Structure 1
Amino acid sequence: MIKAVFFDAGNTLLLPHPSVEEVCAEVLRSHGLRADPEAIRRGLEKADLYYEERYWEDDTFWASEEEAAAMWSEMYALAMREAGVEPSRELGRELYEEFGKGDRWALYPDVMPTVHRLHEMGLRMGIVSNWDVRLPGLCHHLGLSRYLEFVISSANLGRIKPEASIFRAALDRVGVRPEEAVHVGDHYYADVLGARSAGIRPVLLDRTGRAENPDCPVIRSLSELPGLLLTGALER
């Protein structure tokens, strides 16, 4: 019997608001700088490639607030440089700080109805995410706190997904056994393999329909999750 549901944060519950591109443009304008929206988009694509390279080379930066902040600051500076703006080191850091504000994030439309339904079903919920130390504050600002028993960010705990230890910490927070918990996230390596490493059942959230032959239950929207739990269709 499932007693607890853990969630990833980014691309699962939270998304940038109104968009990363627009937030970057607003910060640039505050400094009297301009960049074409398409150039900003291309710059952010380059930054995404930079992130992927860093992540697969060594993902341990997520275990340290200092290293995570430095990585994101470098990434935003790179994006602005690619967009045709020669950024200062401070501008990259300012963009990082901007995304620590609650109004720079929103919940996907399916989040609140789903967590409310899971709450009605008597399930205990929490977040397990590779994120900086600001995540608990963001969740509170977005109104999730009333449904969550904990928010674990990798930078706060000093552990990262897919390490089993970060998931075991989540189990300890709610006092359930691994087979009594489900973890939902969008990243196969961090979320699916990480949950399995701790004996937790994974569910892959594939909002874009890009998952190829995953070996675990897949949903396109969080609204599918309650039904999945009620039918007992989960497999390890």
Structure 2
Amino acid sequence: MVVEIAVVDAELAALYNGPGTESAPAYERVKQLIVSQINAGRWQEGDQLPSENQLVGALGLSRMTINRALRELSAEGLVVRLMGVGTFVAATKTASSLFEVKNIADEIQQRGHRHRTEVVYVREEDADPANAFIRDSIRGKVFHSLMIHYEDDTPIQLEDRFVNPAEAPGYLDQDFTQQTPNHYLSVEAPLTRGEHVVEAILASPEECRLLHIERAEPCLMIRRRTWSSRGLVSAARLVHPGSRNRLEGTFGTG
């Protein structure tokens, strides 16, 4: 649903200028206004908010002020900004496993949502000796895939994966719109060991374009390597928009 700004212009202006708001900076008052509409259930998960230009007109503020408010709400995970499309009320952050190697399609389906994959490329390349991620384990040729995983219509993970041809010789022949690399590799070369490294990053301009996020949005990146009993199977770089994901895991013996 798109929020009809023409209907709520006067109400938004009244809320923005309501009692007790005068001392707060303008961008904070805009944030409070939007949050109040979300908390009241007036703007619900997936609803498209009024555009920056519409909010400028309704509230009589500068575009810079509105942009800052929306940018901060996006960083806080309350809204999702899709370049060239608009700003939407965010869903509750999706949870991704930290300590287990799970199939992202299964995780999404368990949440009652639809998974789909957009394959950017799957190809054979010369193994780059400068790539420390695979340098000591894969020599000669390497399979390289890049794809985006969607939850319903929202991109939630960029998967950049190198695969050892000796462990999965049929990798290039798979249709990864029908199964994920994780599913295929777990059958072809069952996992015996894994390694995770988690970092907070800013994605590259091309990655931002593919994930439909702005350049300033922080991301969570997992570097994941998996081994079978015969050797390294794959090395993946998984990039998650920070406003759309959280990582969780448990540990201990109790």
TM-score, normalised to structure 1, is 0.25
Q: Which of these two proteins has the greater Rg computed from alpha carbons?
A: 2
**Larger RCO (CA under 8 A, 6+ residues apart):** 1
The TM-score with structure 2 as length reference comes to 0.24
* Higher strand fraction (1 or 2): 2
